Chain A
Amino acid sequence: DGGITQSPKYLFRKEGQNVTLSCEQNLNHDAMYWYRQDPGQGLRLIYYSQIVNDFQKGDIAEGYSVSREKKESFPLTVTSAQKNPTAFYLCASSIGSGRSSYNSPLHFGNGTRLTVT
């Protein structure tokens, strides 16, 4: 079945360490996204990528970095510069090319819960 796989489901790190969250999709989607979810704040966009080797900052990119070397993969690194990294992180993808991409919905993975102490 096609879908988005995020791993691991739970991740624990010490403060000051960088950590990378994995996101893989086999939907053949061009566009991929990272969102952060905090209680009572909904989802906020961290980074998005329309195509391989290209990505743009979202609304809360500070303290995060991404890469898009393959169409299927869009890993997110939470750096030590992120002041409040404990959160639930969601990866998503959508059709990213052509006019149909304008109204194409995002497909979400099941998320990674990161806890930094």
Chain B
Amino acid sequence: AQSVTQPDIHITVSEGASLELRCNYSYGATPYLFWYVQSPGQGLQLLLKYFSGDTLVQGIKGFEAEFKRSQSSFNLRKPSVHWSDAAEYFCAVGVRVGITGGGNKLTFGTGTQLKVEL
């Protein structure tokens, strides 16, 4: 079965500093990988996704992530953090539901809570 590990439960960075959130996955086939962000009491918003091709993926809000198959990792990065980036971040791996379609079942990590110091 697939699994996702986010080793950092909490991370605090200063505004303007760079950010890297770690994500490791376990899945037997080529993974579909996603990063989502969640503000308190809200749903999840997609930041970016990877399914094939270029291993460096650009997302919204200035985020990027790099897929490294040899390390089973999909770390999220941002060069300069803004106070509004404070939120919880979830990494997820997608599993095909059906042979000819049917969508994705996502398995999520436990999340990383980001705090930004002004």
Contacts and interface: CB of A to CB of B under 8 A. Distances in A.
A41 B104 CA distance: 20
Interface in B53-109: 90, 94, 96-98, 100-109
Interface of A: 4, 6, 30-31, 33, 35, 40-45, 48, 50-51, 58, 90, 92, 94-99, 101-111, 113
Nearest to B48: A105
B49 A45 contact: no
A94 to B, nearest CB: 5
Contacts, number: 96
A109 B104 contact: no
Contact of A48 (B45, B46, B97, B107): B97
Interface residues of B, number: 31
A101 B102 contact: yes
B99 to A, nearest CB: 10
Given A50-B97, A105-B49, A96 B43 contact: no
Contact of B109 (A30, A42, A92, A104): A42
If over half of B's interface residues share one DSSP class (helix, strand or loop), that class is named, otherwise mixed; here it is strand
12 contacts: A35-B108, A41-B110, A42-B109, A42-B111, A90-B43, A94-B104, A96-B101, A96-B103, A99-B101, A110-B41, A110-B42, A111-B42
Contact of A40 (B9, B34, B43): B9
B103 A95 contact: yes
Contact of B103 (A31, A43, A58): A31
A38 B46 CA distance: 20
Contacts of B107: 45
